[in-house]
Each structure stands twice: as C-alpha cells, then as structure tokens.
Amino acid sequence: MYNNLSIRTQGEVFIIEVKTPRALAQDTNDFTNLLLNIINSTNLKLILDLSKCEFIDSTFIGAMVLAIKIVSANEGQVNLIVVKESVLKIFEDMRLNRIFLISNNLEDAINSFEKTDQV
C-alpha cells in the first residue's frame, strides 16, 4: 500500500514506521494520507518510528509539524523514535525537540504516554 511506510497498533497506540533511510518529499503524500486515516480521533496516541532514518527533508518535517498541530488540537500526542544522531541533530537545530517528545526505542515512547496520562 505505502512503499516506505507501515502502520500498526500496539494497544491503543498507533505506530507509523518510516522504512527508508531518507524520508523525502516523495514520501510526504503517503505519510499525510496515512495520517488522515487515523488523525481525527480524539486522544490519539501516535508514535512515528524514525529509527531507520538517517535524513529527513524539510517537506517531511513540515508534514510532521502539521500532524502534531492537528493531533494536539484533538487532545492527542505524537511521540518520535529517533536513534540516528544525524536525525536528532536536525530536530535539535530546528528546535523541534521542544514540541516533539523524542525517545530512542519503542518501549520508552509507549511509556511516555503513560507518564503524560498521569499528569
């Protein structure tokens, strides 16, 4: 269905995995379409798994920022899994680490939802 993306659920958490080392503009339409299928629910818990990515271009980042705005407006949360230093640096340089909660593995990303639910 989607070349470089897959989606699955774990409990009530949706996990979108980017399966390419370079998330580029050509992947943005698939990403946006996939998001539109799940994004309208309230209290959405979404993890974007970028663990295979070594680079993310500005168009894909723009789609991610739009996603967090929509999900947050519906009282949901978007968490990221980032393991590559080059991708983490992109988020830090753009100060996006202030709006995205970034974990380095799935377990931590899922547990971070539990922490924010208790606040």
pLDDT for 1 equals 58
| Per-residue pLDDT at 40 | 67
The C-alpha atoms of residue 19 and residue 3 are separated, in whole angstroms, by 8
> What is the model's pLDDT at position 117?
57
Residues of the chain with pLDDT under 50: 119
Cα-flanking dihedrals φ and ψ of residue 9, to 5°? -120, 150
pLDDT at 39: 77
**Contact between 65 and 33 (Cβ < 8 Å):** no
pTM: 0.89
Give the model's pLDDT for residue 34.
Answer: 87
Name the residue ranges covered by the structural domains of the chain: 5-118
CATH of 5-118, one of 3.30.750.24, 3.30.56.10, 3.30.70.580, 3.10.20.30: 3.30.750.24
